[in-house]
Amino acid sequence: MRWPKFMRLVIAVVILGAAAAATLLAVMPFIVSTDAIRIRVAQEISAWTGYSVELRQAPRLRVFPVLRASLSGVTLSKVSGHGAGPLMSADRIDVELSPFDALMGRLSFSETQIVRPHFNIGGPVENFSELLNAIASSNGRLGTAIRAQRALLKQGSNDDKALAAQLASQPFGRVVVRDGTISFNRPDAENDAEDKPDPQQQITALNATLEWPRTSSPATLKGSGQWRGEGTQFSLSAAQALPLLAGGMSDVSASFNATPLNLSFQGKANISDDRFFEGALGIKTPSLHGAVRWLGLPSVVGRTEIGVFSLDSTITSTSHRLKFANVEMTTDESPAKGVIEIGFEREQPAVTGTLAFEKLDLRRLFSIFVPLPDNRPRSPNERDQNSRDMIDTSFIDRAELDLRLSAQNATAGPITLTGVAAAVQIRGGRAIFDIGDARAFDGIVQANLQIVRDLKSATGELRFNASDIASSQLFAALGYEKPFINGKGNISLFMKGPANRWSSLLANAQGNVSVQLNNGQMQGFSVQDFLTKAQSQRFFALERQENVALAFNRLDLKANLSEGVATLENARVDTSDGTLNLAGIVPFVDRSLALSGEVIFPGTQPEQQPDTAEGQQAETPAAKPPLHFFVGGSWDRPFISPSGPVQ
């Protein structure tokens, strides 16, 4: 069967076209001048960036599957570098060329691949702002587009706006970075080729793609890399990319993901000198301390490790202030809501805020600022015993802080509290940790700790007030399994002294303590056993007994504290069987006793009785004289020495 004449013609045209295309592709390397490509690529890169381009070798062409030119040994430097190192050096740059434009003598490329580049940030430029300003002030196309966009942002004539809009809209294309490295070098660092770069100041294995069809269109940057031993993935998109580079505002979304830290932002941004960010911020990390160390940020906290941390907030950031509103924060599974604001107007950052927690560990909160003593067993040859004994109050010099905290439930070591209102304030060399109001021990407690720091030392001041509390619950929280005194009343404590060493904190403190309890019991104390032994023995141990107690109507105690010793100013226990008075000293550092006491029995001063019917006064029984005794030994095992027998 014969093919129709029309079909034979079509097949012939296709075959001839394919042959012509194959022929053109085969001879393309001979038609297109490699020197022209080399010069053209150098001109294009220099025109876009404004930097001087050096190509050490002639390009190589590949025609399949696309026409691509490969240029080896590429260096990008400042036009007037004055000896500064290159901004970028790359093993190879691959550009995709349009075959038809090449045949017509024009070279245009839509994709540029930079293979194994090394970017040097800190040599030719100090930071991103300087790099951006350098590009904006260059004679390159990108610099021209940025300046034209800046003109559009200003109020000008319509003709000027039309010209600026034309200059601001330039084709850009796609840029791909493969296996790159970014070094953040100090400009004053010594340049020794034999020294290895600091891995903490490098991003390696960088693979990224910048999609930016035209400078007037949105731009997207996505990639991955290795930084400080961790694989990272990042993405950034700007709806108004050129206005953003020109100092204007743009809708921005960004994300940064690594094992130590995940961060996301979506909102508006301005990256000019008057930088501004506003939008939704999300932060998650398995360890806040670990993330701070990984980022290389200075730590302002103590030895306590803050673990899982997350933050979702609306953020408003300017060059001098950072505000987190609608904060939803979780620290170590403790959620909180509130507002935080950070000011950078002064040398020290100033942090203010209000946070409401569901539950709060007050001891952990305090140890964030002041590292608590580490009681882990240590080998004898360790040399950090002295440093571990020092109280570190250096946090006072690092920042100003004013945080108002509340918590439905809180703990302070073994103490459980509810309805807590607290504050942390650091300003002018003074730190204040305050519990303004909380419920504990079936009553109300308040506490205030102040640390004042000067150039030579630090002074601490503690105030504690408890109203209408159950003393047995307080003593149980302090570690006494079987509290000796059980009553309801008030307790106040004041202590002040040098805050330099943990080991001498109590021994050097001055202050006072006051206790008033009503309708309570002294557990394990038998009056009859005490009186019997006092009549027959000159020296005996006051043993605690089971299932007995001395009921009292009121207990009053006042003592002055000085150099590890409590001196009793007044100690009185009123019971139905008499009154107990104590005086002396109680060294609370070594928990010993040196007291004198007396028991005043009822009827020691009898009242005048009325006359009998015969007109004679009734006889009254003789009153018992007071019992005097001494108390020695320790808190756990006191010894009694009566000064005379009971009559």
Kindly list the distances between the CA atom of residue 316 and the CA atoms of 180, 240, 270, 324, 507, in Å, as whole numbers in the listed order. Answer: 33, 19, 11, 7, 49
DSSP-derived secondary structure for 1-32: -PPPHHHHHHHHHHHHHHHHHHHHHHHHHHHS
DSSP-derived secondary structure for 459-513: EEEEEEEEEEEEHHHHHHHTT-SS-SEEEEEEEEEEEEEE-SBSTTTTTT-EEEE
Alpha-carbon span 384 to 595, nearest angstrom: 40
Specify the range with the lowest mean pLDDT, choosing from 190-204, 255-269, 320-334, 383-397: 190-204
Q: Virtual CA dihedral for 372, 376, 378, 382, nearest 10 degrees? A: -30
Taken as a whole, the chain contains a residue count of: 647
Residue 635: both structure tokens together: 């808190």
Residue 327: both structure tokens together: 């904060």
Residue labelled with tokens 């008033």: 516
Domain spans of the chain, in order of start: 32-188+198-268, 275-372+392-440, 454-602+622-646
* Residues 211/230, Cβ–Cβ less than 8 Å: no
Residue 466's DSSP bridge partners are 445, 491
What pLDDT does residue 47 have? 67
Specify the range with the lowest mean pLDDT, choosing from 41-50, 202-211, 484-493, 575-584: 41-50
Q: Is the pLDDT of residue 17 over 50?
A: no
Specify the range with the lowest mean pLDDT, choosing from 188-202, 268-282, 318-332: 188-202
* Residues 437/446, Cβ–Cβ less than 8 Å: yes
Model confidence pLDDT, tens digit, residues 96-148: 766 555 555 555 567 888 999 998 876 545 556 666 776 777 666 777 788 88
What pLDDT does residue 181 have? 92
- What mean pLDDT value characterizes the chain? 80
Model confidence pLDDT, tens digit, residues 625-637: 888 999 998 888 8
260: alpha, beta or left? (left if phi > 0; alpha if psi -120 to 50): alpha
Kind and range of the H or E element at 453? Answer: strand 443-453
Model confidence pLDDT, tens digit, residues 605-619: 544 455 555 555 555
Alpha-carbon span 236 to 351, nearest angstrom: 29
3-class secondary structure, 445: strand
Model confidence pLDDT, tens digit, residues 136-168: 776 667 777 888 888 777 765 555 666 666 666
Q: How confident is the model at residue 501 (pLDDT cuts 50, 70, 90)?
A: confident
What pLDDT does residue 601 have? 85
Of 77 and 102, more confident = 77
Separation of first and last alpha carbons in the chain:
148
Q: Is the pLDDT of residue 553 over 80?
A: yes
Angle, vertex CA 515, rays to CA 507 and CA 591, nearest 5 = 35
Q: What letter would DSSP give residue 532?
A: H
What pLDDT does residue 20 have? 43
DSSP-derived secondary structure for 363-428: HHHHHHHSPPP--S---TT-S-HHHHHB---GGGGT-EEEEEEEEEEEEETTEEEEEEEEEEEEET
3-class secondary structure, 535: helix
Q: Which amino acid belongs to residue 554?
A: R
Over the range 155-191, which residues count as b (16 or more CB within 10 Å of their CB) and which as e?
eeeeeeeeebeebbebebbebbbbebbbbbbeeeeee
Residue 324's DSSP bridge partners are 315, 340
Model confidence pLDDT, tens digit, residues 204-217: 999 999 999 888 88
Alpha-carbon span 445 to 434, nearest angstrom: 11
What pLDDT does residue 410 have? 94
What pLDDT does residue 160 have? 62
428: alpha, beta or left? (left if phi > 0; alpha if psi -120 to 50): left
Q: Which amino acid belongs to residue 69?
A: A
The residues, ordered by sequence, that sit 6+ positions from 249 with a Cβ below 8 Å of its Cβ are 240, 243, 268, 269, 270, 276
